[in-house]
Amino acid sequence: MSCLPRVRTLPWVLPLLLSGLQLLVTQASNCPLGENWIDQEDIAVYLPLTVEFALHTFNQQSRDQYAYRLVSTLNSRKEQPDDPKMVFSMNLLLGRTVCGKFEEDIDDCPFQKSPELNNTLTCFFTVSTQPWLTQFELLNQTCSDGVP
């Protein structure tokens, strides 16, 4: 008699399992796979490091005595090079801070508020990177005053 309930429940369980499997297959097929998904993952993981490098390099090369820090990322993309390096292009809005560019921590430094000075720059950077080896190379930097 103990086998009888199992036989009766099996017809109910099997359709439920199959419908659950159908939902999983349908949901998985809606996920973006391929290069676009990989690019988005690379951007999420490696772009912050690349932005930090670009900003640090900008501050080191700048003739300004004050440091700039990131206000916002206006847009960014991962280029498709033929070599194993990743290349990111990004438009960044930078704000001039009250801190000197050689100070240790500018991440929390307040922005300058002076209305007579142009305290913002829009900069386009292209950076080649192998962040897993901590290798970065600035390929292009173009900046203009103000917000686009």
pTM of the full structure: 0.70
Taking Cα atoms as reference points, which of 46, 67, 41, 50 lies closest to residue 125? 50
Within a domain: 49:
yes
C-alpha span between 14 and 87 (Å, rounded): 50
Taking Cα atoms as reference points, which of 94, 100, 33 lies closest to residue 65? 100
Q: Furthest-apart CA pair in the chain: how many Å?
A: 91
Within a domain: 54:
yes
pLDDT at 25 over 70: no
Within a domain: 72:
yes
Within a domain: 44:
yes
* Number of other residues whose CB lies within 10 A of the CB of residue 1: 4
Domain count, the chain: 1
Range of the domain at 90: 35-145
Within a domain: 118:
yes
pLDDT at 33 over 80: no
Within a domain: 91:
yes
Instruction: Tell me the range of 9-13, 27-31, 110-114 where mean pLDDT is highest.
Output: 110-114
Strand partners, 125: 90, 141
Strand 120-130: give its sheet, edge to edge. Answer: 66-78, 86-100, 120-130, 135-145
For the chain, how many helices (H) and strands (E)? Answer: 2, 4
Sign, CA torsion 123/96/75/132: positive
Q: What CATH number does residue 116 fall under? A: 3.10.450.10
Altogether, the residues listed in the chain come to a count of 148
Confidence class for position 81, pLDDT limits 50, 70, 90: low
